[in-house]
Amino acid sequence: MNDDFIERRDEIQKYFQFIESLSDGTHRVLLSTSNSEAYASSELTDIIKTFKANAFLLLYNLVESTVKNGVEAIFDELQAKSIDFDSCREELRKIVLHGLRKRNVDKVVPQIAAIAKDVIGIAFRKDELFAGNVDARAIRKTAQIYGFISPKKKSDQLVIVKDNRNDLAHGNKSFGEVGRDYSMLRLEEIRKEVFAYLEELNANVETYISEQRYLHSKAVAL
């Protein structure tokens, strides 16, 4: 499991604990000057709604970054091991060829010394993988495209995370509107399922790399 995932996951865990402590009254927000309540009860309720909605942005960020970093790790491995184009499994060769179609030939040619090897790194662009619509269906499709096994754990909550993130990002709903619809118990259910799903995804990508399933000779039926 990569360090970036662990760091982001732990940040989200602490954020959820913070919201929970405000919601149940364990922690209070006090004025430093008078040690009195900084917000009226109704004001604090509205703030907590915003915090709850923001949790979906954090979870979505974790989902998208985990998938992108997993795919990037595959290409990093190919380049580190100097794997040539012909040695890659068919799925990866298709990705490389598709990626090359998007590149400027005048810029690409000077970067290539040994085309069978260099072409792999040139074809990959992390920022081209997704456009704000990552859920379990998109991850299954990505797994099929690259040839690794998609997670088998429950993944229903990923659609909820994606939809709420998109509503917030595109202004379809306010933070208050999203936050009021979710109790902390419900948010915890979503967080746990998302974490478990992504941990399995990371494990599957690590197995794919360690067992060199990116090679056509190691390809297995998925």
DSSP element (H, E) containing 87: none
pLDDT at 176 over 70: yes
Q: What is the pLDDT of residues 21-72, one digit of tens each?
A: 988 878 777 667 787 776 778 888 899 999 999 999 999 999 999 999 998 8
**pLDDT score at 19:** 94
Alpha helices in 101-210 (DSSP H): 105-108, 115-123, 136-146, 156-169, 175-179, 184-210
Q: What does each C-alpha distance from 76 to 79, 125, 134, 136 come to in angstroms?
A: 5, 12, 22, 24
Question: What type of residue is 18?
Answer: F
Which one, of 78, 66, 73, lies nearest residue 6 by Cα?
66
Q: What does each C-alpha distance from 157 to 36, 98, 170, 201 come to in angstroms?
A: 39, 31, 20, 15
Q: CB 164: neighbour CB atoms within 10 A?
A: 25
Q: CB 24: neighbour CB atoms within 10 A?
A: 9
pLDDT at 117 over 60: no
Contact 201, 135 (CB under 8 A): no
- Average the pLDDT over 95-120 and give the result: 54
**pLDDT score at 76:** 86
Q: What is the pLDDT of residues 203-217, one digit of tens each?
A: 999 999 999 998 887
**pLDDT score at 96:** 75
**pLDDT score at 110:** 47
Give the orientation angle of helix 3-23 with respect to helix 184-210, to 10 degrees: 170
Residue with the bigger pLDDT between 115 and 180: it is: 180
Residue with the bigger pLDDT between 44 and 198: it is: 198
- Average the pLDDT over 106-117 and give the result: 46
DSSP element (H, E) containing 96: helix 90-100
CA angle 200, 203, 204 (to 5 degrees): 90
**pLDDT score at 120:** 53
Round to whole Å and give the CA distance between 179 and 195: 20
Residue with the bigger pLDDT between 164 and 94: it is: 164
Q: What is the pLDDT of residues 120-147, one digit of tens each?
A: 555 556 666 766 689 999 999 989 888 8
Mean pLDDT of the chain: 84
Residue 114, class by beta-carbon neighbours within 10 Å (0-12 exposed, 13-18 middle, 19+ buried)? exposed
Contacts of 198 (CB under 8 A, 6+ apart): 5, 9, 62, 63, 66, 151
**pLDDT score at 209:** 93
Q: Delimit the domains of the chain by residue range.
A: 3-218
